[in-house]
Structure 1
Amino acid sequence: MRAALFLALALFAAPAAAQDTARAAEAAADRLAAASEQLAAAQASRDRVAALTETVRAYEAGLASLRDGLRRAAIRERSIAVELEARRDRIAALLAALQSISQTPAPVLMLHPGGALGTARAGLIASEVTPALQAEAQALRADLQEAADLAALQQSAIGTLEEGLAGAQTARSALSKAISDRTDLPRRFTENPVATALLLASTDTLDAFASGLARTIDAELSGSAPDATARKGEIPLPVQGQVLRGFGAADAAGVARPGLVIATAPRGLVSTPVAATLRFRGELLDYGNVAILEPAAGVLVILAGLAEVFGETGEILPEGAAVGLMGGDPPASHEILTETAQGGGAPQTETLYLEVREGDVPVDPATWFATG
């Protein structure tokens, strides 16, 4: 009996810390519901492009928030399971001891072979241990209930995920169409398509192409050139993601490029962080689809690796305007649940290359962008 009581005192040394993941997941679901309402309103908005751009951002934020909540829920559920597994032998030993005690008649249980003094001491120990046993039993019950709630939360998220993913795809498609129908943006110049084609055919480096861009202008218009010089060093990155390689860093093949490589989620929205002139859009050398922006006179921002590029060359894009979408296929809801069940975050399988040139010379993008 004494061995069982001291084993009970040692059991469950530290209670598990509870995490309010359900509230985070509920907030994410609310954000997705708001994005769905925003999508319906954007279809009738006077400025459909701006409204749909914000809707795509809202869906991306809501889905990212939901995935983060599910990931934390999965990590917590696994943590509880590991803790309970680690205690399994000790719990089994305690239960066996308690079962043996429960089968002993109460008058015999309270007797001690040491006589009255031993019996009194055993009673004192039992009176002190009982509240501790009750507290630990409640903690165990809370852990089991939390694990069950977290499992139910992840299961119930399937519908929310599917609706969010479908809504995001609808918003992206509507945005692409709205931009293709747009005719109200000011233009700084009109492009000479023949000169552009000749430049593409005659250059084999990005340096040469960027240097020859001026020759592709057919006629200058009255639009005033944007100037983001005052925000130099504080401009946000054009896409949500993580910088994989910095300025001049070599890749796995030993190739160093004077720009940033940013990992992004599939179909991520790329936008202009400041007002800029669209100087070029299309396929370029081995860079894939490219958009070249001019946020200030003599400054070019090259964005390469997009799946879709929006806008017309010569247009002045306002701050926050959609430039394009990254490639890849967004994961299905069951794939997301599998990833989060393993404790993983949102996969960033696409890469955007960002280069900044001042007067035909590449400079560190960190001089213009807030890369941190």
Structure 2
Amino acid sequence: MSRSRSPALRPLAMAAALIVPGLAFVAGFSGLAQTSQTFTSVEETQTALQRALTQAAQAEARGQRLEAEAASATEQAERTAREAAALAARIQQAEAGIAVADARIALIAGQRARLDRRLAQRREPLVRLTAALQKMARRPVALSALRPGSLRETVYLRAMFETTIPQVQSRTAGLRAEIDRSRQLETAARQAAAGLRSSEAELVQRRRNLAALEARQRLASQSARGDAARESERALALAEEARDLDALVGQLDAEATLRQELAALPGPVMRPGKPGDARVSPSSRVPAAIATSATPGRYQLPVNGRTVTGFGARSEAGVSSNGIALAARTGAQVVAPAAGRAVFAGPYRGYDRIVIIDHGGGWTSLVTGLARTDVEVGDVLVGGSPLGVAGGARPVVSLELRRQGTPVNPLEYLR
């Protein structure tokens, strides 16, 4: 029977043998990984991917720089501080890697869904056509003369087959290309899932390393905690007295200015051996070093995330924003935006936990939205020092930068 099959109909059986297993492959494929983030559009997903790639590159560069600075530091305290900042940068790099994997998985899932919809539209008619052509291909042409009807119908049928075969082959080629694309998406999904697992493992290990380093720091600084404890009590007292966050920042700014002015005072003058050699010392002035500087130093965002509120944006109540707000991942690492000294760290009414950093030169940063703070009042911080982690199901970390008590846009000072 197979020898009597028309040579023109053989490609139809081959096409049917290819189409059906390919459609079964498409129908049986399920997603290999699910993204932990929800995106509403392809454009939003692509934007999130580019943002995460940029943040990962920036965090990697910070980590390399801080690791080099730690290796060249001569004092143990400075070396430890920079090692902690480098670990925090590596944690942010791993977090950005997770965000990259999430965005890629979401893009692949969207492409898979669109491909499945196209194949679903084409699958049913192609399967019916393939079944019919297979049936006709198994029937010898010679037997068609025995069927009722004229030979003219058989000739017409042969002519129709010869016209249809190229179209079927063409559509089959397009379907084969889409099936190959489906296999490529499957491979890409597996790679993205592997990248996600790798970034998550790195994140866990680096958090452990940072926790161990912070524990060593606390043990090493226990002997010098007396002054810090008194300063922390003073900061808490100011927080209770302050009517709002702006008032608290203003009070801490005033104390920082007073502390700098006292530090700039000249030391005691020895009494001269001859009274006639006595001179009146000039009145002390605040040196230029502690006057308002042009920039707060090397400045960065405290956390990886998407900007949800810009500087100066007005709320529904008509209040203008004094800073920016960043939507971060739950438990995201929060770091010091620039070098300075922690003048407040802890809970504050309505803001979860906050950290206020005096950068010197009239600059102050306020970071809110922390679930945990890893610094204490009086700690000297390098840029990128770990401050704590973001908390909540959908954490929002806000950053305010003030110059002599006046809010300014922190984005203008990013490097």
> TM > 0.5 between the two?
yes
Matches of 1:156 and 1:198, distance apart in 2: 50
Q: Does 1:303 align with 2:303?
A: no
Instruction: Give the superposed CA RMSD.
Output: 4.6
Q: What's the counterpart of residue 389 of structure 2? A: 325
AA matched with 2:406: V
Matches of 2:213 and 2:293, distance apart in 1: 26
RCO higher in 1 or 2 (8 Å CA, sep ≥ 6)? 1
Q: Does 1:135 align with 2:135?
A: no
Give CA-to-partner distance per residue, 1:153-207, whole Å, 9 cap, x none: 6776786476345335424533543553565xxxxx9773453343222211122
Residue 265 of structure 1 deviates from its aligned partner by: 0.8
Q: Which moved more, 1:146-155 or 1:267-276?
A: 146-155
Matches of 2:291 and 2:130, distance apart in 1: 75
Give the conservation status (yes or no) of the 8 Å contact 1:237–1:369: yes
AA matched with 1:82: R
Number of residue pairs matched by the alignment? 314
Residue 243 of structure 1 deviates from its aligned partner by: 1.5
Matches of 2:107 and 2:142, distance apart in 1: 51
Give the conservation status (yes or no) of the 8 Å contact 1:300–1:357: yes
Indicate how the Cα distance of structure 1 residues 140 and 326 shifts in structure 2: closer, same or farther if over 3 A, else same.
Answer: closer
AA matched with 1:359: Q
Q: Does 1:53 align with 2:53?
A: no
Matches of 2:206 and 2:318, distance apart in 1: 37
Indicate how the Cα distance of structure 1 residues 201 and 50 shifts in structure 2: closer, same or farther if over 3 A, else same.
Answer: closer
Which protein is bigger by CA-based radius of gyration?
2
Matches of 1:113 and 1:152, distance apart in 2: 57
Q: Does 1:229 align with 2:309?
A: no
Q: What's the counterpart of residue 304 of structure 2? A: 240
3-state SS in 2 of match to 1:87: helix
Structure 1-normalised TM-score? 0.65
3-state SS in 2 of match to 1:282: strand
Give the conservation status (yes or no) of the 8 Å contact 1:49–1:178: no
Residue 119 of structure 1 deviates from its aligned partner by: 7.7
**Match for residue 80 of structure 1 among 104, 112, 115:** 115
**Match for residue 205 of structure 1 among 244, 253, 267:** 244
Matches of 1:63 and 1:107, distance apart in 2: 65
- After TM superposition, the structure 1 = structure 2 runs for residues 29-178 of structure 1, keeping only pairs within 5 Å, are 47=80, 48-107=83-142, 114=152, 121-122=159-160, 125=163, 128-129=166-167, 131-146=169-184, 149=187, 160=198, 163-164=201-202, 166-174=204-212, 176-178=214-216
Indicate how the Cα distance of structure 1 residues 241 and 121 shifts in structure 2: closer, same or farther if over 3 A, else same.
Answer: same
Residue 85 of structure 1 deviates from its aligned partner by: 1.8
Q: Which moved more, 1:53-62 or 1:153-162?
A: 153-162
Q: What's the counterpart of residue 286 of structure 2? A: none
Give CA-to-partner distance per residue, 1:49-99, whole Å, 9 cap, x none: 244223313322332232233223322322222222222332233223323
**Match for residue 356 of structure 1 among 401, 410, 413:** 401
Give unmatched runs, 5+ long, in structure 1. Answer: 184-188, 330-348
Q: Which moved more, 1:278-287 or 1:172-181?
A: 172-181
AA matched with 1:180: R
Give the conservation status (yes or no) of the 8 Å contact 1:276–1:293: yes
3-state SS in 2 of match to 1:212: helix
Q: Does 1:294 align with 2:358?
A: yes
Question: Runs in 1 of length 4+ with deviation above 6 angstroms?
Answer: 154-158, 216-219, 224-228
AA matched with 1:198: A
Q: What's the counterpart of residue 348 of structure 2? A: 284
Give the conservation status (yes or no) of the 8 Å contact 1:200–1:209: yes
Residue 303 of structure 1 deviates from its aligned partner by: 0.7
Matches of 2:199 and 2:94, distance apart in 1: 11
AA matched with 2:132: A
Q: Percent identity?
A: 23
Q: What's the counterpart of residue 215 of structure 1? A: 255
Matches of 1:104 and 1:147, distance apart in 2: 40
Give the conservation status (yes or no) of the 8 Å contact 1:200–1:284: yes
AA matched with 1:300: T
Residue 317 of structure 1 deviates from its aligned partner by: 2.1
Matches of 1:109 and 1:180, distance apart in 2: 94
Matches of 1:81 and 1:137, distance apart in 2: 12
Residue 124 of structure 1 deviates from its aligned partner by: 5.1
Matches of 1:367 and 1:178, distance apart in 2: 36
Q: Does 1:272 align with 2:336?
A: yes
Structure 2-normalised TM-score? 0.59
Residue 240 of structure 1 deviates from its aligned partner by: 0.9
Residue 113 of structure 1 deviates from its aligned partner by: 5.2
Give the conservation status (yes or no) of the 8 Å contact 1:269–1:322: yes
Indicate how the Cα distance of structure 1 residues 175 and 245 shifts in structure 2: closer, same or farther if over 3 A, else same.
Answer: farther
